[in-house]
């Protein structure tokens, strides 16, 4: 008869197991393993010895508040000769002075907190995560460099600025920092589906499609006790400006510490970065992407209707918008719920914009479905398809109430960008979302997506052309010129009116104050003639109107008196902040104190007051934020300079992320890659 093992105690071998399962960056105080991969528990027997073939042990694994075999949230199993990696199983691998027990979960087990009981001896707890290294897992990803970047990298780059001038912003994802995994598991526990039916939700956690959708809903707080509250106006006095965050750690910790009070405030890149941190923490490969000239189509007709006033400036009466850029994430997984061919990157957008199934969430939708125009596929195809493909119609509202269609070329979905694998360069992934413009495949996609407007468009060669040209680099604090270039391609002389204006604008398209304006009532153009009209942008004019986005929208409206046709050219420019210089003093080694000297030169013609540097970095600043304030003003042309000290906790390539803030120059970002030796 079977002899049950008489277990006195056991050792979970956390350091060995966590390292083997690539979770050791979470710490080695508790057992954190990945599904579909064996882990080892060493048993110390009170009496007797292990006898192959006759020793027995009953094991039961359970997760969630209502474990059930049917839901896959409970499993009972005994000892077998060998591990079976397709189901819960256990086998003894050696039995000298103690019994080494190898235990494996199936590659589709629900993730989260599990309890495992060893016969009558007692039970232990462990955390189970997705396993992108396991071929049987829905999130399996080939390529060690890709896994290094999309699962293990705790810092990265998010692209902002605009399509002509993408600006890399460093971000500390910090998914393995102290307390972050617990905050991420709490996000799953606080989601309304879990509160309504915890047993079913625990079972749903086997599926990264379900979990990605939960993350997309829970990173914003619009229908639930989610993590972040969004705000897109320029007053953040009762919270923190979205610009000021340097990473996700502080946000997730604040939410967790305040009993799930939403953290104020987020905007799209903050929502996306936090969703990326949560996805990576749980083991789903994830990356933040930026779509420049992103359409926000509020009525799903794939048409963005914009209205401009007499002066060619955007009017506020439209719910449809074009955002200068918009960030979301892509999570990597198979889609067994769809027909074959839609595995791989899935777009997931946690910024609250439109409701999906009654909740503010969006995705996951396969990039391949967007590219092929299969917008009925789950989830939220039409919205993301429009973000990269919508057609833009612009109307001119005259004083007498009439509207006229304007001739203009506004494209959406440009330069879709993400950080390259293993480097800080920008990778252009537009081709993953759309076929080349004008190609036969593009026409097929638009036909499938019922995007008739794009199919009908013929390029009418307009007789008059208008363009906005700018200087190569426009630095904040400088005065510079921008130009409206007007060309007459007709055979007759033209007499026109040109309105050339500039307004501050926020990244999501909301207009601010006027930064410079010209109205020329008599522009005469001979056949074939080109004229350049300059508009001077003075710091003294634009300084007080800029938002923290540093963006100015230039609009040139040309009206042909003879035909009453209106032509519009629009261009957003981004003013470049000064560079933050970081010098590392000393030899970077694990657990050795380092100094960094951080400098920024004041580029403005006015002194900077209340200057403050804030610094953080995963495995560099020990999960803390270092803040250094300057006591005195920094005069024009002078350096703001601080020295900070930190002690790295892990070897490897790390980013030290820096934010500089002051009364006139807000939230300048910088970083330094530091290689920490052993």
Q: Is the pLDDT of residue 28 over 90?
A: yes
Q: What is the mean pLDDT of residues 65-74?
A: 95
* Predicted confidence band of residue 318 (pLDDT cuts 50, 70, 90): low
Please give the residue that has the higher pLDDT: either 518 or 450.
518
pLDDT at 462: 66
Which of 496, 485, 484 has its CA nearest to residue 520?
A: 496
Sheet with 594-601: list strands edge to edge: 580-585, 594-601, 639-646
pLDDT at 451: 75
pLDDT at 114: 98
Tens-place pLDDT, residues 568-586:
999 999 999 999 999 999 9
pLDDT at 457: 59
Q: Which residue in the list 14, 221, 260, 268 is annotated as catalytic?
A: 268
Whether 134 is catalytic is: no
Whether 326 is catalytic is: yes
Question: CA–CA separation, 46 vs 247, rounded Å?
Answer: 49
pLDDT at 97: 81
* Predicted confidence band of residue 317 (pLDDT cuts 50, 70, 90): low
The pTM score is 0.96
pLDDT at 526: 96
Question: CA–CA separation, 239 vs 256, rounded Å?
Answer: 17
Q: Are 329 and 288 in contact (CB under 8 A)?
A: yes
Average pLDDT of every residue of the chain: 94
Tens-place pLDDT, residues 627-637:
999 999 999 99
Q: Is the pLDDT of residue 460 over 60?
A: no
Tens-place pLDDT, residues 486-514:
999 999 999 999 999 999 999 998 899 99
Q: Which residue in the list 326, 361, 549, 560 is annotated as catalytic?
A: 326
Tens-place pLDDT, residues 249-289:
999 999 999 999 999 999 999 999 999 999 999 999 999 99
Q: Cα dihedral sign for 43, 46, 48, 54?
A: negative
Q: Which residue in the list 256, 320, 349, 659 is annotated as catalytic?
A: 349
Question: CA–CA separation, 7 vs 28, rounded Å?
Answer: 24
Question: CA–CA separation, 57 vs 2, rounded Å?
Answer: 9
Tens-place pLDDT, residues 184-193:
999 999 999 9
Q: Are 214 and 625 in contact (CB under 8 A)?
A: no
pLDDT at 410: 85
* Chain position carrying tokens 């081709």: 431
List, as own/partner pairs, every contact residues 81-86 make where C-beta atoms lie below 8 angstroms and the sequence separation is at least 24, other chains included: 83/38, 85/36, 85/37, 85/38, 85/134, 85/136, 86/136
* Chain position carrying tokens 């230039």: 554
- Residues tagged in the binding site annotation for Ca(2+): 389, 391, 437, 442
- Residues tagged in the binding site annotation: 389, 391, 437, 442
pLDDT at 453: 64
Instruction: Output the DSSP codes for 346-413.
Output: EEE--S--S-BTTBS----EEHHHHHHT-TTSTTTHHHHHHHHH-EEEEEEEPTTS-EEEPB-----S
Instruction: Output the DSSP codes for 15-30.
Output: HHHHHHTT-GGG-SSS
């Amino acid at each position: 008869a079977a002899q049950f093992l008489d277990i006195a105690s056991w050792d979970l071998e956390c350091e060995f197991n966590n390292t083997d399962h690539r979770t050791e960056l979470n710490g080695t105080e508790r057992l954190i393993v990945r599904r579909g991969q064996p882990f080892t528990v060493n048993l110390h027997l009170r009496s007797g010895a292990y006898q192959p073939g006759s020793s027995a042990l009953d094991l039961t694994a359970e997760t969630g508040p209502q474990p059930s075999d049917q839901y896959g949230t409970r499993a009972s199993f005994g000892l077998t000769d060998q591990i079976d990696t397709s189901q819960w199983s256990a086998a003894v691998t050696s039995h000298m002075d103690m019994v080494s027990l190898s235990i494996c979960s199936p590659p589709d087990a629900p993730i989260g907190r599990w309890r495992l009981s060893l016969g009558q001896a007692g039970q232990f707890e462990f955390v189970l995560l997705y396993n992108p290294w396991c071929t049987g897992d829905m999130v399996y990803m080939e390529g060690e460099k890709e896994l290094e970047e999309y699962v293990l990298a705790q810092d990265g780059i998010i692209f902002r600025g605009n399509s002509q001038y993408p600006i890399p912003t460093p971000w500390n994802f910090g998914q393995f920092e102290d307390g972050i995994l617990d905050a991420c598991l709490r996000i799953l526990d606080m989601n309304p589906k879990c509160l309504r039916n915890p047993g079913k939700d625990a079972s749903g956690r086997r599926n990264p499609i379900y979990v990605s959708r939960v993350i997309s809903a829970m990173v914003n707080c619009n229908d639930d006790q989610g993590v972040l509250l969004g705000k897109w106006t320029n007053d953040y006095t009762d919270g923190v400006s979205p610009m000021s965050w340097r990473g996700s750690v502080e946000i997730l910790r604040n939410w967790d510490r305040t009993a799930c009070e939403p953290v104020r405030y987020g905007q799209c890149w903050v929502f996306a970065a936090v969703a990326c941190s949560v996805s990576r923490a749980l083991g789903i490969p994830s990356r933040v992407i930026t779509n420049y000239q992103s359409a926000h189509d509020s009525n799903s007709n794939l048409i963005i209707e914009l209205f401009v006033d007499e002066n060619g400036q955007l009017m506020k009466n439209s719910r449809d918008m074009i955002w200068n850029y918009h960030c979301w994430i892509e999570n990597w997984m198979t889609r067994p719920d769809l027909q074959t061919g839609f595995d791989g990157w899935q777009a997931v957008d946690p910024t609250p914009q439109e409701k999906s199934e009654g909740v503010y969430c969006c995705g996951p939708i396969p990039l391949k479905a967007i590219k092929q125009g299969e917008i009925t596929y789950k989830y939220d195809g039409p919205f993301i398809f429009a973000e990269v493909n919508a057609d833009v119609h612009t109307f001119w509202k005259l004083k007498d109430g009439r509207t006229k269609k304007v001739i203009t070329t506004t494209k959406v979905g440009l330069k879709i960008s993400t950080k390259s694998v293993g480097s800080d360069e920008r990778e252009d992934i537009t081709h993953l979302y759309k076929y080349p413009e004008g190609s036969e495949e593009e026409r097929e996609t638009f036909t499938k997506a019922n995007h008739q407007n794009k199919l009908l468009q013929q390029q009418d060669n307009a007789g008059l052309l208008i363009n906005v040209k700018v200087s190569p680099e426009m630095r904040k604090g400088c005065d510079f010129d921008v130009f409206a270039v007007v060309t007459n391609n007709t055979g007759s002389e033209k007499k026109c009116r040109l309105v050339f204006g500039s307004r501050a604008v926020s990244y999501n398209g909301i207009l601010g104050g006027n930064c410079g304006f010209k109205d020329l009532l008599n522009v005469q153009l001979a056949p074939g003639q080109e004229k350049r009209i300059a508009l001077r942008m003075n710091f003294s004019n634009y300084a007080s109107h800029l938002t923290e986005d540093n963006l100015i929208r230039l609009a040139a409206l040309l009206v042909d008196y003879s035909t009453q046709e209106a032509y519009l050219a629009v261009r957003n420019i981004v003013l470049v902040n000064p560079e933050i210089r970081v010098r590392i003093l000393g030899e970077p080694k694990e657990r050795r104190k380092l100094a960094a000297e951080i400098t920024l030169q004041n580029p403005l013609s006015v002194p900077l007051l209340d200057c403050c540097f804030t610094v953080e970095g995963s495995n560099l600043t020990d999960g803390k934020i270092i803040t250094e304030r300057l006591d005195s003003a920094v005069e024009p042309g002078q350096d703001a300079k601080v020295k900070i000290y930190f002690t790295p906790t892990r070897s490897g390539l790390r980013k030290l992320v820096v934010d500089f803030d002051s009364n006139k120059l807000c939230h300048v970002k910088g970083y330094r890659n530091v290689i920490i030796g052993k």
